[in-house]
A and B are shown apart, each in its own frame.
Chain A
Amino acid sequence: MMASSYNAKEEDGHHSGASSGTGVSKNKKPDNTAFKQQRLPAWQPILTAGSVLPAFFVIGLIFIPIGIGLYVTSNNIKEFEIDYTGVSSDSPCYNCAKNFTWNTTEPCVCTVNFTLHQPFESNVFMYYGLSNFYQNHRRYVKSRDDRQLNGDLSALTDPSKECEPYRKSGDVSIAPCGAIANSLFNDTLVLYYVDSNNSISEIPLVKKGIAWWTDKHVKFRNPAGNSNLTLAFKDTAKPVNWAKPVYELDPSDPENNGFINEDFIVWMRTAALPTFRKLYRIIQKKSGATPTLPNGNYMLNITYNYPVLSFDGRKRMILSTISWMGGKNPFLGIAYITVGSICFFLGVVLLIIHHKYDNRNTSADIPS
């Protein structure tokens, strides 16, 4: 380095001069920063009984009241459920259930009577429930074309391949395509109140507002460009299992017809679990102090269109009020109470352990 020939030396001299000038930056010395030297100020949680037990008590103390609150809330929700599948022979829908298939054209009507022992105060939500219906089956879930449902004209005439085998009927594409749409729940439920003097009054069921706002207004759209739905869907075929084409789902209300039919939208939101309910109608609370559904006898008139016995399914009608936490579900309340109690118990255990062991250890560790 230092002593080569004179020339070299000169050069080296220059170099060293230069490097000493910029020496600081060329130095290989690592920066003495907290990060690079791994000396960042750090919180070092050491989990011992002593340090953890407050957390347990706090969790316990928070969870138990929440649990109680949830439990009470859940208990305040009124729910009524009736199975109208017609499995057993004494069921009013037994005949319908037995004879009805998808090919039957004549609707079968049956009536189920039931009694509400408690009045339903606020708004009542009317659900239909299906059991053992695997709406979450992988192939089923995929079998739809969101673009078609969103009013995309090209998708209307040429639906996605996901819809197979419910994509085309012959040469004509199906609208709405896919298995989900094809299996649309099409029972019609009408609820009557039988008052004490046996007079029957139909309870008004609101069919608007049962779908999500985003679904109704953003996700689902009728094909654009034509206000006449019949014309809009003229190049399409109805789904195989449907009795009527999609533009006749609710001829009475153009705002609820075609793809934006709310029953249809609700159905299209596939349920997560094989036993599920879907919102069917809403029974608005009448003004005043009268309960929405007073206790007494009711009559459920069913137009039985939907066969479920082939896969051992069940159909139910559910009436329920709703709270801030949703439908009736005692599980969460119980779970919170349980977990809170366990936490409290563990906290006590830890406290005992802490008293027994922690002191001994620390005293042994610290040399005097």
Chain B
Amino acid sequence: MERLRWVQHRCQQLLAGDSRRGWYSDGLHNSSLLNTHDPRGRVCGRQRTIFPRNGLHQQDYERVSRNYKSNAISTTKYTLLTFIPMNLFEQFHRAANLYFLFLTLLNWVPVVEAFQKEITMIPLLVVLIIIAIKDALEDFRRYLFDKKVNNNVVRVFCGTQKSYIDQCWKNVRVGDFVHLSCNEIIPADMLLLYSSDPRGVCYIETANLDGETNLKQRQVVSDFPLQGEEFTPESFHSRIECENPNNDLSRFRGYMEHSNGVRVGLHSGNLLLRSCTIRNTETVVGIVVYAGHETKAMMNNSGPRYKRSKLEKHLNTDILWCVVLLFIMCLTAAIGHGFWMNSFEESIFQVDTETSPALAGFYIFWTMVIVLQVLIPISLYVSIEIVKLGQIYFIHNDLSMYNEQLDSRIQCRALNITEDLGQIQYLFSDKTGTLTENKMVFRCCSIFGVEYPHEENARRLEVYESENSETAVRSVTLRSGYSGKSLSCRSLSCNRSSVSLHTLTAEPMEEDQLSGHVQLRTGAFCSRMAKEVVPDPALVKKLNWLTNHSSSETPSSMELTYITDFFLALAICNSVVVSSPNQPRHVIPEERTPLKSLEEIKLMFQRFSFSPFSALSPSQIKGSPHSFKSRLFIRGKRGSLTLSTLVSNTTDMSGSSQENDSKPDLSAREEEEQDVEDQETEDDLRDTQTNPDETRQSMQDLTRQVECVEEITDELVYEAESPDEAALVHAARAYRCTLRGRSAESLLVDLPGIGSLAIQLLHILPFDSNRKRMSVVVRHPLTGQVVVFTKGADSVIMDLAESPTDQTEVYNHIKEKTQKHLDAYAREGLRTLCIAKKVLKEDEYDLWLKAHMLAESSIENREELLLESAQRLETNLTLLGSHCSSDLNHSISELKYQYFKCMRVFSGSTGIVDRLQEEVPETIAALQRARIKVWVLTGDKQETAINIAYACKLLCASDKLLTANCGSKDACAALFEDLILEVQSGESLTDLTGNGESMSSSFILVIDGRTLGWALEDELRSNFLELSQRCKAVICCRSTPLQKSQVVQLIRDHLGVMTLAVGDGANDVSMIQVADVGVGISGQEGMQAVMSSDFAISRFKHLSKLLLVHGHWCYSRLANMIQYFIYKNVMYVNLLFWYQFFCGFSGSVMTNSWVLILFNLIFTSAPPLIYGILDQDLPAVTLMELPELYQDAQTSKTCVPYMFWITVLDAFYQSLVCFFVPYFAYAGSDVGVLSFGSPINASALFIILLHQVIESNTLTWIHVVVLVLSCASYFGFVLLLSGFCVTCSPPVNPLGIELLQMSHSLFYIICVLTTVTALLPRLFFQALHNTLHPSTVLKSAHMDTVDSENYCRRMQRWNMTHSKTNRLSAGADNPGLEPSLA
């Protein structure tokens, strides 16, 4: 089936490819016509050209656009006419249906005909009709939906009427100008040409596309001449070249050529995607570039995932054995018939005596294939599908996997791997967002080599937690090992924060409930926790110094520079979209924000900058402050600057006061200006100095004003792409460095003591996982310098930050200090980020800009070029932050040598805490008890990863850590050898002590990304595998998405185990896809993981229920169902086979053919389904409490290969009994063929149904109803047939047979004897087996039934005492749950 699907897919691809190629040659022709002057246009011919459809380029338009798809979509598979042939064609792709068809056709061959022709068609027809009806309904729904979508109305520009007219979506064509208003859905992929927003941006919500609810910003095509004015499609004369339709949502390349030959690069930021919604923008106009099925949204539409489960593969071998069995049986019959024929020369009862015995035997072979067709349980596939649907229905409806906050259930995206959930041996987990909440909270920071521990903040988190833990302990009964964990932390000499981290693991229910309503309104990543950051007093003091210079302490002004720079970077180096609940999201209400006039700012800056630094009197040391300020004012007067972060520059300046040899960052030009403006500045200074009181007064006013403003607009909402961004922006805000708004070209930031400043935003180099950082390029309004703020993973930034040669010592000191802080943060389990700054000189910026523009406008390898370009910009960063002076010196020296044009400022590092999700330790412990190996694959730092691993109980104190960080491949190889030896010795030691509790000292492998890279190579792979197999858990840190998937693949393929990958982010997608079962967590990072997953859950803790309960159930249910199904078929078919020995192997049956066919199709079809859907071998509670049962199920009777043969043997035995008891009872009597079959059928039915009762672990009223109905349907049918079928079923007429049979007591005597005798052995051996070798499963079930009340009482008692002791001594050891149970 899978292969057939693949073939289908290939066919579609080929078809699609054909049409594309056809179009492509056309397009190539066009482009070569039009682009004779453009060599690249020809080289990269896979483009499409779009002419506007505004009546002006009618010819061009018609020529080019003829072959573009219109916007009408049709997702239906069939039409009314094609439904029957197409559907039949589709259905006969299934092997099962082909088999049925083959049998039906075989039955049409007269010499092998076994039954009436119609009867053999029944199974096929039933299956075909059921599936056809299902398909038709689905298709009809799609049709209705398509119709609705196609008939949506949108305003499209009409060339003849010169205005926008209403059009249906389906009539929209490529090149149309579409006019959309706010909240309208985009009908096709279009280029944004006009937005009512003055900055030419518009916002779209892509929830329909990827489920992300945060707004995405889109931009009017840059350089578009009509920007800002009302757009007139008539005047649009440009031609658009872009790439062919593809399904990459984040990629769009092309350019727009204006009539004057100027080209403008197009990128995905210009593209409005179909099915997204316009938000916060009054009107937009776009030109359609892709329509209908060529839109990215449509091309991304893929059906549900199709995976093959392991059990299904195993099933195939079983079925193969069935085929072998069938073959043997048919062959026996054929040979037997040959011999039988041979033994008769002439007989009255032989109808056809001409055929030779050999030929007759050959015919009989095929006849027997028809007669015994049921042996191949082809209907099993249909049954399995139905069973899985039922199982998924129950999984989907599980209340305990429902998340109240998100109102989300578990999503089952793959329909056919439910039972794989019960066989997982390896679990690969992402860390962030999977184990943790991915609700980042700013925890602490280090700036300028000084750590600000934010004790208050930490305490807040703890206090906050303790509020919750009260309820948490009470609500969760099994929160064992609470203190054991902290013990382990202590033993690892983890400091307080690991304890605090651990305390963060309790339920966030409280918070979520409290803020539930608010949170819904506050958008992405805005939890209460994140928003309320308690500032560090020391830092506040230092910051206050900016606003309130009367403070006695005088921090180093250079430090202040970095502090302000740091917060500025926090506030702006992101892609956060700001909105307030009362306001449209994006709007920067410039008229409302207290943006002061330039004069005011000037004035304020004057005073402000003067007073705090006057004490230091930097101007006395050097003349530079004057020059600096004066330059500033000149700029201000010229109006070439908007506003700027005065503080940072000022403090830069003042920083120079500390170290005499340093010189502020000034360009040569500025120094020239200095002389000119010197006089004026000094005048200003004098003014302020003369009126110090007034200055102070105005400062206070200002502060008050700002505070007031903050109160007013307190309800700012930040919508970030990642939660740490939001956390940082909130942190900056806590220090009153507030991001107020953003547009495509500017950022509005409140700074303490200064007020709102608009910062010109030049570029955003977005985050990507290769660079592991993001940057913003802004123009510093004060200095006019181009400043790059970079934020990224500490390792990357630290590497990029270069040590200036002349100041190595001092610089390295700071770097070391920062590194030390970073390490400390990581040990505490904090996520660390570094922030750096770099100042570009104009000419360098120009140079870079040129290259960057080139990269942006290139169509072919835009991504690569952009990446390169971004890296070029980011490489020259220096690790700043802790050591400013050295930087300054360095940059000066560089300036002097005209060699290097940058100033780099390290701003600092941050520690962000990411709380563990609730019940993660419990879940992991449960999974480990279930003998699932849990691996953590994370991109985070090693220390962070280890700490999280401790926190979530993946590691415990007694575990031995094996760390593999190698610098080279050889070292890596050697290390693996060593580690294996160590593990072996450790294992032998455990063996010697022989207490069997290997869990007490197991090994944990910690491997970093680089080493992992080597480990995945061929030579080291086996060692790595061996090592990892011996370890209890493996933690891979600093791993890339590719490595994650490679690891999963390695384990899956080389160990042949069932793997499960769970993750929440885009970086986990590859891993999720590779694993046998991919689980996506619909968390904070969008929906990519969910979209590629098989199951989507909202919490990590749901995994335990999903695997331990549903996985177990689904697996045992399905395994049992399959065995039962096979048993049922073998048992029934054998009855027919035994009869062959008494009818000359002629293929005769003792049953009416209707009954024979319907026996499997109807009478006994429901019980196995019920069995497969409803059976519970153990109650959910037991499975949750004893995870050990999980693995037991896999090794228990249901799945071992010999069980298949035991089942088949039992089926043979039962069929023997079922046949021969009536045989001997009727031997020699006057019994007719059908009369003989009657008790056989009836007892077969009883045996099959009662067999299920014996095998079933649970019997509910549904079982009873189904069993009764099965019986009733059989007897009803045969009695009806017997009563009213006069000539209906030629030639073996059942008239009167059953009625007569059932009126005889012999019938019942036989049935009872047969049924009891057939089931006796199974009953006996089952009882014997259960008694002599009680499995864990049974034991626990026993315990569960016998001891449940007792157990409950003890649990309650334990809970009470536990909570008591917990309150008394939080850190005390508690005996844990297990010992009290033992």
Residues of A within 8 A of B (CB): 1-8, 11, 27-32, 36-38, 40-53, 55-56, 59, 63, 66, 70, 102, 127, 129, 133-147, 150, 152, 160, 162, 164-166, 179, 182-183, 212-215, 218-219, 241, 269-279, 307-308, 310-313, 324-327, 329, 331-332, 335-336, 339, 342-343, 346, 350, 353-354, 357-358, 361-362, 365-367
Contact = CB atoms under 8 A, between A and B. Distances in A.
A346 B1324 contact: yes
B1148 A4 contact: no
Interface string B1025-1038: 00000000000000
B1228 A129 contact: yes
Interface string B117-129: 0000000000000
Given A47-B1326, A310-B347, 8 more contacts: A36-B394, A43-B1259, A46-B1342, A137-B1143, A141-B1291, A143-B1291, A269-B1232, A365-B1339
Contacts of A129: 1228
Interface string B1363-1382: 00000000000000000011
Contact of A273 (B182, B404, B1226): B1226
A223 to B, nearest CB: 14
A187 to B, nearest CB: 13
B1382 A274 contact: no
Nearest to B353: A165
Given A138-B1146, A219-B1296, A366 B1305 contact: no
Contacts of A241: 348
Given A311-B348, A362-B1342, A274 B397 contact: no
Contacts of A48: 1327, 1330-1331, 1334
B589 interface: no
B1228 A277 contact: yes
B1143 A138 contact: yes
Given A335-B1221, A353-B1331, A5 B1324 contact: no
Nearest to A81: B1228
Interface string B563-590: 0000000000000000111111100000
B84 interface: no
A357 B1332 contact: yes
Nearest to A316: B1228
B1230 A325 contact: no
A1 B407 contact: no
Contact of B182 (A4, A308, A312, A335): A4
Q: Which one of A4, A311, A329, A332 has the highest number of Cβ atoms from chain B below 10 Å of its Cβ?
A: A4
Contacts of B1236: 272-273
B349 A140 contact: yes
A309 B848 CA distance: 110
A30 B398 contact: yes
Contacts of A32: 399
A42 B1339 contact: no
B1339 A275 contact: no
Contacts of B213: 1
Interface in B1223-1238: 1223-1233, 1235-1237
B1309 interface: yes
A5 B182 contact: yes
A313 to B, nearest CB: 8
Interface of B: 114, 182-183, 213, 279-282, 343-352, 367, 394, 396-399, 402, 404, 407-409, 520-523, 579-585, 717, 1142-1144, 1146-1148, 1150, 1174, 1176, 1180, 1221, 1223-1233, 1235-1237, 1253-1254, 1256-1262, 1286-1287, 1290-1293, 1295-1296, 1299-1300, 1304-1306, 1309-1310, 1313, 1316-1317, 1320, 1323-1324, 1326-1328, 1330-1332, 1334, 1338-1339, 1341-1343, 1345-1347, 1350, 1381-1382
Contacts of B1381: 367
26 contacts: A5-B183, A8-B280, A30-B397, A36-B394, A38-B394, A38-B1180, A40-B1260, A44-B1341, A56-B1324, A135-B1233, A142-B1292, A162-B1291, A183-B349, A270-B1232, A270-B1233, A272-B1232, A275-B1228, A310-B346, A310-B348, A311-B346, A312-B344, A324-B1305, A335-B1221, A335-B1224, A336-B1309, A350-B1324
Contacts of A160: 1290-1291
Contacts of A350: 1324, 1327-1328, 1331
Given A38-B1176, A325-B1309, A28 B1330 contact: no
A341 to B, nearest CB: 12
Contacts of B281: 5
A278 B283 CA distance: 95
A129 B1142 CA distance: 16
A27 B407 CA distance: 7
Contacts of A183: 348-349
Nearest to A139: B351
B1254 A218 contact: no
Nearest to B580: A3
Nearest to B1347: A366
Nearest to A364: B1339
A350 B1323 CA distance: 11
Contacts of A142: 1291-1292
A132 to B, nearest CB: 9
B1295 A218 contact: yes
A7 B183 contact: yes
Contacts of B1230: 127, 271, 276-279, 327
Given A46-B1330, A48-B1330, A272-B1236, A1 B520 contact: yes
Contacts of B1229: 276-277, 326-327, 329
B165 to A, nearest CB: 22
Given A160-B1290, A336-B1313, A354-B1331, A134 B1231 contact: no
Contacts of A43: 1258-1260
B1186 to A, nearest CB: 12
Contacts of B1305: 324-325
A297 to B, nearest CB: 25
A44 B398 CA distance: 22
Contacts of A218: 1286, 1295-1296
Nearest to B579: A3
Contacts of B183: 4-5, 7-8, 11
Q: Which one of B1237, B1327, B1328 has the highest number of Cβ atoms from chain A below 10 Å of its Cβ?
A: B1327
Q: Which one of A5, A11, A134 has the highest number of Cβ atoms from chain B below 10 Å of its Cβ?
A: A5
Contacts of B279: 4-5, 8
A3 B523 contact: yes
B872 to A, nearest CB: 38
A285 B353 CA distance: 45
A48 B1330 CA distance: 5
Contacts of A367: 1347, 1381-1382
Contacts of B1300: 212, 214
Given A2-B520, A37-B399, A325-B1309, A134 B1286 contact: no
Q: Which one of A11, A269, A310, A350 has the highest number of Cβ atoms from chain B below 10 Å of its Cβ?
A: A269
Contacts of B1342: 46, 361-362, 365
Given A52-B1324, A350-B1324, A358-B1331, A272 B402 contact: no
A183 B1237 CA distance: 23
A5 B280 contact: yes
A26 to B, nearest CB: 9
A346 B1320 contact: yes
Contact of A51 (B1227, B1286, B1327): B1327
A141 B1233 contact: yes
A335 B1313 contact: yes
Nearest to A334: B1224
B923 to A, nearest CB: 20
8 nearest CB pairs, A to B: A214-B1296, A272-B1236, A311-B347, A42-B1258, A52-B1327, A138-B1148, A139-B351, A138-B1146
A26 B215 CA distance: 25
Contact of A2 (B581, B1226, B1295): B581
Q: Which one of A142, A312, A357 has the highest number of Cβ atoms from chain B below 10 Å of its Cβ?
A: A142
